Amino acid sequence: MTRAAVWLCAALITVGGAAACAAPVSPATAAAIAAHPRAAEIWGDKCASCHVPVEPGTRTTEALRAALAKHRSRARITSAEWDDLVEFLAAAPARTAIPPR
């Protein structure tokens, strides 16, 4: 289990969701952790230290940038780390059945 997954389980246990830790990390979260290991570490260390972290792939880039703006002074991470964290957490753009022209 990765460090981020351990932190996520610790956060869930703190708020009464111990049963959720019995299940493995979702495939989407596992893929995000593998693709962005440094951001996953920040996610586990910084985000989970105050609240249950946002699950990767559940928010738009715009929503994440707005939410992270209010956390910037508390988290104390670099701009590059913020960018990586947004990329790690952001949902992939929606795909349509009709290709763009």
29-79, pLDDT tens digit by residue? 899 999 999 999 999 888 888 888 889 998 999 999 988 888 877 888 888
Longest dimension (CA), the chain: 50
Q: Which of 49, 62, 51, 71 is nearest to 89 (CA)?
A: 62
pTM: 0.65
Average pLDDT for residues 17-39, to the nearest whole number? 77
Whether the predicted pLDDT of 100 surpasses 60: no
